Amino acid sequence: MKTVLITGGSRGIGAACARLFAEKGWRVLVNYRNDDDAADALAGETGCELFKADVSDRDAVYAMRDEIERRGFMPDVLINNAGVALFGLFQYIEPEQADRMYGTNLFGTLNCTRAFLPSMVERKDGAVINLSSVWGEVGASCEVDYSTAKAAIVGFTKALAKEVGFSGVRVNCLSPGVIDTDMNASLTVADVEAIVDSIPLERLGLAEDVAKAAYFLASDEAAYITGAVLPVDGGWKG
């Protein structure tokens, strides 16, 4: 049985990934930061194993890795999904807000990959799937820091894929467009209508759409794909 670790997995895209991988017969490990109720509900639904840790805290990540090993697990696939939004004019963003966003979205990805990559390299098998965003490719006004962090994820993916390819480890990236999750709950009806009008497939994305793309990249069907940035945006970016 293959094992997947999904960070930020208690809701949204992470929870959709947990449900799909569990349905496909994988052992699912879910990391989450603070939503105990959502995590417990997901565990009851899917049978996933829960690991509570703030991925922005490197010591907490390594303690989580040790706990996973102690319980007899080690992920074949790591999905770096944990992320938070940050809206506002760049010059008015509070440093504490920016630190939290970069800590989770960028350094959380680095921390988790550093923790779990060595075992993949040692086994000469494994896959890392990072969550970027369409904004990491084209940028977004009033989301400058968020766009910067997500652009860094793209560069990280491409560079690491070249570094560990000889070890049989694949590293890929998903670039979702506007997905109908809590992160985009602040959008008004007018905002949503304007966005949908500009998407060729004429709808917002669903968390399940991203989960299906993640499952493909984790599967043997993607065995010759690494360093890729796969858009899941309904054709929005063009």
Catalytic center residues: 146
Q: What is the number of residues in the chain?
A: 238
Residue indicated by tokens 């052992």: 27
CA angle in degrees (0–180, nearest 5) for 217-80-201: 55
Report how far apart, in Å, the C-alpha atoms of 72 and of each of 33, 39, 48, 65, 215 are.
22, 21, 14, 11, 23
CA dihedral of residues 28, 182, 114, 23 (deg, nearest 10) = 20
Q: How far apart are CA 229 and CA 202, in angstroms?
A: 22
Name, in order, each residue with C-beta under 8 angstroms of 209's C-beta and a sequence gap of 6 or more. Answer: 176, 179, 232
Q: Within a 13 Å sphere around the CA of 141, how many CA atoms are in the beta-carbon half?
A: 0
